[in-house]
């Protein structure tokens, strides 16, 4: 419940560390008074909650990760994801090389893994192996778009607010021999400007606040009958996600995935 309450006042990501919850917010949005007000208004629910805060050190947090890499990850016994340092011992139908350079998305996190599972299921069951266009919102390493092209999606467009992520997506696309994957730098406002047209599938593995802020834009570029796949939030956020998405002609499908309280939901535009 605490992540849900903090999400209401702008906190974007959370990490559980024993009895502690690490919550992150943009510096410009931080207010200690907001925390005090939240704890006071929540009554007994947060009666035993104490907190401290500090500014996160400005450094390359991916440096060690990039140096060490990660062990190969298998998704749904069909796809294997590995970096350039760790080659797989077994062959799978879909093989992806993903090197993370200042970007999120290798398949190790529950949200990325669930998004990949949902994408494969959609592609197989609803499209019978035929998807013309897919949009990846907040592309990170480019893993979702690369997976889509390897599945057989004709064309992928992607965007991210981080220039490093856009470069990482292009680099990983080349390493996988992928073409027709176009990544641009910017936020949701690139839709209708740099990224034109509608899409069969829209994917967004971001956080609940951005999802709620941008859902109308996602719906506008999604074809009627198309699917929106989202993750990056806790199960406690599912109700508000469903309620707000429904206002944008998006109906929840009966195939949500939950992993360690992280949730992936699939919606269809009506």
pLDDT at 187: 95
DSSP labels, 106-159: SS-SHHHHHHHHHHHHHHHHTSTT---EEEEES-TTSHHHHHHHHHT-SEEEEE
Instruction: List, run by run, the mean pLDDT of 10-residue segments along the chain (270 residues).
Output: 69 69 77 81 76 71 59 91 87 91 68 95 81 94 95 95 92 95 97 96 94 97 97 93 97 90 96
Cβ–Cβ under 8 Å, residues 232 and 189: no
Query: What's residue 4's pLDDT?
Result: 60
pLDDT (0 to 100) of residue 102: 52
DSSP 219-250: HHHEEEEEEEEEEEEEGGGHHHHHHHHHTTTE
- The number of angstroms, rounded, from the C-alpha of 265 to the middle of its chain's C-alpha atoms is 11
Q: Tell me, what's the pLDDT at 109?
A: 86
Under 8 Å between Cβ of 203 and 137: yes
Amino acid 105: pLDDT: 64
pLDDT at 93: 94
Task: Give the number of other CB atoms < 10 A from CB of residue 187.
Answer: 15
pLDDT in tens, 161-182: 989 899 999 999 999 999 999 9
Q: What is the pTM of this model?
A: 0.79
| Closest of 263, 262, 109 to residue 252, by C-alpha | 263
Provide the token pair at 183. 């990544």
């Amino acid at each position: 419940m605490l992540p849900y309450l903090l999400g209401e006042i702008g906190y974007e990501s959370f990490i559980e560390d024993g009895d502690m919850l690490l919550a992150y917010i943009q510096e410009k949005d931080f207010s200690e008074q907001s925390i005090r007000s939240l704890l006071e208004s929540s009554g007994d629910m947060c009666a035993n909650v104490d907190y401290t805060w500090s500014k996160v050190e400005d450094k390359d947090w991916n440096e060690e990760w990039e140096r060490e890499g990660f062990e190969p990850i298998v998704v749904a016994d069909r796809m294997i994801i590995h970096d350039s340092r760790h080659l797989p011992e077994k062959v799978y139908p879909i093989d992806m090389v993903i090197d993370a350079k200042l970007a999120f998305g290798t398949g190790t996190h529950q949200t990325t893994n669930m998004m990949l599972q949902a994408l494969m299921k959609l592609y197989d069951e609803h499209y019978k192996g035929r998807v013309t266009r897919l949009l990846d919102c907040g592309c990170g390493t480019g893993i979702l778009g690369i997976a889509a092209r390897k599945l057989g999606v004709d064309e992928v467009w992607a965007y991210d607010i981080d220039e490093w992520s856009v470069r990482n997506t292009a680099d990983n696309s080349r390493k996988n021999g992928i073409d027709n994957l176009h990544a641009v730098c910017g936020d949701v406002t690139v839709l209708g400007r740099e990224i034109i047209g509608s899409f069969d599938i829209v994917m967004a593995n971001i956080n609940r606040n951005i999802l709620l802020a941008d859902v109308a834009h996602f719906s506008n570029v999604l074809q009627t009958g198309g699917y929106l796949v989202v993750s990056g939030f806790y199960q406690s956020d599912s109700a508000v996600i469903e309620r707000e998405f429904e206002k944008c002609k998006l109906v929840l499908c009966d195939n949500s995935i939950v992993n360690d309280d992280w949730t992936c939901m699939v919606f269809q535009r009506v």
